[in-house]
């Protein structure tokens, strides 16, 4: 016998207390009601009744008391909720050696939120429920069909495994574990879940495992040792096998990149998919929020900056490309939804989790540039191509590099970089610079020798500064031959190999030095001039990172952090905060919540933000695949009912016995039979 409610000691205390209370009530002397009567003969009958104290009357009162004690005892027994199993010796309690231990693994990955499962016991055509709700029903069914003495551990799994109970027999404890089953937006790691089950069942008698899942995942390599000696079964909770389509729209990918000539204008590429068997009219909603983290933050209508109408054919996947987008901040979401007309015609998105995707662009900032020049309209026009750039021009005679302050030293009046055109002095310490004609760079990139009328060739076309640039048609009167150091990148040279354009990265600052004097060439009138300046400014300002790859939910991440950081906290989209490990300058973390992740360093104001995306395998619906599972798990959940002999629950029978005894009491003691 297994007690699922109160333990036997508590049942005995309740029954004993009730018996004492009933005994006290029966010991109380009955008080008769006073009635005035006009006929004295009635008094004789009353006196005769009060003198009647036969043995039968006393026994009948004692029997009534015993009957009510039995009633309260049975009700106390019902509070214990005992069950008796029929396997083994009939009517005998299970010995500890016969106890069965089962781990119930419940899939809570992202695909379990799809609303296409049939409720347990529902008729055909019933309204579908989510797969996670169907999984809860499945676990409750497993609990009602378990063997007597069977101890069950309930755990949920996705990319992680979360134990929700210990090995328990009590039904109330296991019910609380079922209520704690909640879906995530992570992947399904079945191998990790089986290793957990193997570890939990180590050394226990009669081990078994039941996997409750929609099987919308790739099985991968499951070590054979994880199943050896286990009674492994599965319970499918997804749509019916053979289901081909589901009413669902999804944004499977989202990417942003800045334009080549203007870092405040962006191009967007999104992949939208229709899983339905019919054509659908939809709309792609683009929202931006400077500080948004979760999907709720981007659902605000004020965050919407553009919409795009779409018509998606049945089972179509389409790539949507949009140009010249402007939006506030650096965080963007793309959400697809059907039109009101489609919803009126009965289209219901059964998997809303994949309707939204997130992306971010590199942090954008307005650049302040110090231009040292006598006045070069071609150079100034090239600088004006950059919309996020403002410059201040000074004459070479007034230039003193010792007085130039960086933006870090003076946030309002400091400069992000310096452009030197004919300056006799070199660039300031600690600030990046673009230098024309190589003047003032002694000790940095020496250039004392001149090359007359050189023909230039590109030496390193893959460098960001040289993107899209051709120099073969330039006409030069002369150029300064540079002498780069070890580690410098030679970007262009004469046909004889003389360096003419050199880039250097010193870590704290960057340098781009040209041996070309714009006033002694026709570069100012060429397309190469504005493009070269735009590329150089972007590289000097460290804007060459045009794409920030999203993090995949459920995987382990490693995000580079600046030097001298000793502690990092991971803030998830729902606000949960945890410490991230810091290994060799990288913050390690993981999450299963869709949105933007914040890595906050111990240095004030230092934050790294990354977008997160759903695992690709969780976006493949309707699920119920993975036929390889049949090789090691029973074919379906139906086999569970035949493999498990239902336990006998005594509480229902105890209550029926209570009602029967009350009826007997009413007939034998309370009811009067008159002639």
Q: What is the pLDDT of residue 92?
A: 32
For 577, half-sphere exposure in the C-beta direction (CA atoms, 13 angstrom radius) is 5
For residue 253, pLDDT over 60 is answered with yes
CB atoms within 10 A of CB 526: 18
CATH annotation of 551-616: 2.60.40
CB 172 within 8 A of CB 155: no
Closest residue by Cα to residue 383 from 538, 544, 546, 545: 538
Q: What is the pLDDT of residue 364?
A: 66
Q: Which residue has the higher pLDDT, 53 or 102?
A: 102
Q: How far is CA 37 from the centre of its chain?
A: 85
Q: Of the ranges 328-332, 384-388, 587-591, 641-645, which one carries the lowest mean pLDDT score?
A: 641-645
Please compute the mean of the pLDDT values over residues 209-237 and round it to a whole number.
72
Q: What is the pLDDT of residue 167?
A: 93
Q: What is the pLDDT of residue 666?
A: 58
Please compute the mean of the pLDDT values over residues 445-467 and round it to a whole number.
83
Buried b / exposed e along 33-54 (16+ C-beta atoms within 10 A)? eeeeeeeeeeeeeeeeeeeeee
Q: What is the pLDDT of residue 673?
A: 43
Q: Of the ranges 163-167, 443-447, 641-645, which one carries the lowest mean pLDDT score?
A: 641-645
pTM of the prediction? Answer: 0.65
Q: Left, alpha or beta for 331 (phi > 0: left; psi -120 to 50: alpha)? A: beta
For residue 221, pLDDT over 70 is answered with no
CB 613 within 8 A of CB 357: yes
Most confident by average pLDDT, 49-53, 231-235, 494-498: 494-498
Two tokens, residue 144: 């009602």
Most confident by average pLDDT, 186-190, 249-253, 450-454: 249-253
Q: What is the pLDDT of residue 617?
A: 80
Q: CATH says 367-540 is which class?
A: alpha beta
pLDDT grade for 584, boundaries at 50, 70 and 90: confident
Domain segments of the chain: what residues?
2-85+651-670, 96-242+622-645, 249-360, 367-540, 551-616
Closest residue by Cα to residue 305 from 294, 318, 292, 315: 292
Dump the DSSP string for 338-370. E-HHHHHTT---S-GGGGEEEEE-PPP--EEEE
Please compute the mean of the pLDDT values over residues 12-30 and round it to a whole number.
73
Q: By three-state DSSP, how is residue 124 classified? A: coil
Quickly name the fold that domain 96-242+622-645 has. Answer: Rossmann fold (3.40.50)
For residue 643, pLDDT over 60 is answered with no
Q: What is the pLDDT of residue 184?
A: 94
Two tokens, residue 592: 């299963």
Q: Left, alpha or beta for 595 (phi > 0: left; psi -120 to 50: alpha)? A: left
Closest residue by Cα to residue 439 from 427, 455, 454, 453: 427
For residue 105, pLDDT over 80 is answered with yes
Most confident by average pLDDT, 25-29, 284-288, 526-530: 284-288
Closest residue by Cα to residue 104 from 212, 26, 215, 199: 212
Mean pLDDT of the chain: 80
pLDDT grade for 484, boundaries at 50, 70 and 90: confident
Length of the chain in terms of residues written:
675
Closest residue by Cα to residue 185 from 586, 572, 669: 572
CB atoms within 10 A of CB 604: 7
Q: What is the pLDDT of residue 232?
A: 82
Rounded distance between C-alpha atoms, residue 427 and residue 506, angstroms: 13
Q: How many helices (H) and strands (E) does the chain have?
A: 12, 32
Rounded distance between C-alpha atoms, residue 464 and residue 414, angstroms: 26
For residue 83, pLDDT over 90 is answered with no
For residue 411, pLDDT over 50 is answered with yes
Q: What is the pLDDT of residue 23?
A: 73
For residue 320, pLDDT over 80 is answered with yes
For residue 449, pLDDT over 70 is answered with yes
Contacts 24+ apart (CB under 8 A), 374-377: 374/421, 374/422, 376/421, 376/518, 376/519, 376/524, 377/524
Q: What are the residue ranges of helices labelled H in 543-668?
A: 638-643, 650-665
Q: What is the pLDDT of residue 384?
A: 84
CATH annotation of 249-360: 2.60.40.10
For residue 355, pLDDT over 90 is answered with yes
In the chain, % of residues over pLDDT 90 = 30
CB 174 within 8 A of CB 168: yes
Q: What is the pLDDT of residue 474?
A: 82
Q: Are strands 331-338 and 417-421 parallel, antiparallel or unpaired?
A: unpaired
**In the chain, what is the straight-line distance between the N-terminal and C-terminal CA atoms, in Å?**
50
pLDDT grade for 12, boundaries at 50, 70 and 90: confident
pLDDT grade for 357, boundaries at 50, 70 and 90: very high
- Residue 15, C-beta contacts closer than 8 angstroms, at least 6 positions apart: 72, 73, 76, 77
Which residues pair with residue 599 across a beta bridge?
Answer: 570, 608
Q: What is the pLDDT of residue 631?
A: 38
* Domains 249-360 and 551-616 agree in fold: yes
Q: What is the CA radius of gyration of the chain?
A: 40
- Residue 447, C-beta contacts closer than 8 angstroms, at least 6 positions apart: 438, 441, 480, 481, 482, 483, 513, 515
């Amino acid at each position: 016998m297994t007690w699922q409610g109160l333990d036997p000691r508590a049942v005995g205390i309740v029954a004993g207390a009730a018996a004492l209370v009933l005994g006290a009530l029966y010991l109380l002397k009955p008080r008769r009601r006073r009635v005035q009567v006009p006929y004295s003969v009635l008094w004789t009958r009353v006196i005769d009744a009060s003198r009647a104290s036969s043995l039968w009357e006393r026994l009948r009162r004692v029997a009534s008391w015993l009957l009510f004690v039995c009633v309260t005892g049975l009700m106390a027994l019902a509070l214990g909720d005992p069950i008796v199993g029929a396997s083994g010796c009939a009517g005998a309690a299970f010995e500890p050696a016969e106890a069965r231990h089962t781990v119930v693994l419940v899939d809570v990955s992202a695909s379990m939120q799809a609303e296409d499962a049939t409720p347990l016991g529902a008729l055909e055509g019933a309204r579908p429920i989510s797969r996670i709700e169907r999984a809860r029903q499945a676990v409750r069914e497993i609990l009602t069909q378990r063997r007597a003495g069977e101890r069950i551990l309930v755990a949920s799994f996705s990319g992680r495994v979360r134990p929700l109970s210990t090995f328990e027999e009590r039904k109330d404890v296991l019910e609380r574990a079922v209520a704690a089953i909640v879906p995530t937006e992570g992947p399904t790691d079945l191998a990790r879940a089986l290793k957990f089950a193997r570890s939990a069942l180590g050394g226990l008698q009669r081990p078994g495992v039941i996997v409750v899942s929609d099987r919308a995942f790739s099985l991968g390599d499951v070590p054979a040792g994880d199943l050896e000696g286990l009674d492994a079964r599965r319970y499918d909770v997804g749509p019916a096998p053979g289901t081909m389509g589901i009413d669902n729209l999804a944004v499977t990918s989202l990417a942003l990149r800045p334009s080549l000539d203007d870092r405040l204008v962006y191009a967007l590429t999104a992949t939208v998919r229709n899983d339905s068997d019919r054509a659908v009219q939809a709309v792609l909603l683009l929202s931006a929020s400077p500080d948004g983290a979760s999907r709720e933050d981007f659902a605000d209508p004020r965050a919407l900056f553009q919409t795009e109408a779409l018509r998606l054919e049945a089972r179509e996947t389409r790539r949507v490309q949009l140009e010249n987008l402007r939006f506030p901040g650096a965080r963007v979401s793309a959400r697809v939804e059907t039109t009101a007309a489609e919803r009126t015609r009965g289209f219901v998105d059964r998997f809303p989790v994949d309707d939204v995707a997130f992306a971010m662009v590199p942090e954008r900032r307005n650049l302040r540039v110090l231009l040292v020049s006598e006045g070069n309209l071609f150079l100034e026009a090239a600088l004006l191509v950059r919309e996020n750039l403002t410059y201040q021009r000074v004459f070479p005679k007034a230039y003193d590099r010792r007085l130039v302050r960086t933006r870090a030293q003076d946030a309002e009046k400091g400069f992000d970089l310096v452009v030197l055109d004919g300056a006799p002095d070199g660039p300031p310490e600690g600030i990046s610079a673009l230098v024309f004609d190589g003047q003032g760079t002694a000790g940095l990139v020496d250039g004392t020798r001149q090359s007359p009328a050189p023909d230039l060739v590109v030496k390193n076309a893959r460098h960001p500064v040289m993107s899209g640039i051709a120099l073969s048609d330039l006409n030069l009167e002369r150029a300064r031959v540079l002498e780069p150091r070890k580690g410098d990148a030679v970007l262009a040279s004469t046909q004889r190999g003389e360096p003419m354009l050199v880039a250097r990265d010193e870590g704290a600052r960057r340098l781009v030095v040209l041996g070309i004097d714009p006033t002694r060439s026709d570069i100012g009138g060429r397309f190469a001039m504005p493009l070269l300046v735009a590329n150089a400014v972007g590289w000097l300002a460290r804007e060459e990172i045009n794409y920030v790859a999203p993090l995949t939910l459920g995987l382990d991440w490693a995000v580079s952090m600046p030097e001298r950081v000793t502690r990092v906290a991971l803030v998830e989209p729902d606000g949960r905060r945890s410490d991230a490990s810091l290994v060799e300058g990288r913050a390690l973390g993981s999450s299963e919540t869709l949105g933007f992740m914040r890595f906050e360093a111990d240095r004030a104001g230092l934050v790294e933000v990354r977008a997160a995306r759903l695992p690709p395998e969780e976006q493949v619906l309707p699920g119920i695949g993975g036929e390889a599972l049949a090789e090691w798990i029973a074919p379906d959940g139906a086999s569970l009912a035949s493999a498990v002999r239902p336990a006998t629950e005594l509480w229902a029978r105890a209550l029926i016995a209570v009602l029967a005894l009350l009826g007997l009491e009413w007939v034998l003691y309370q009811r009067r039979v008159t002639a």
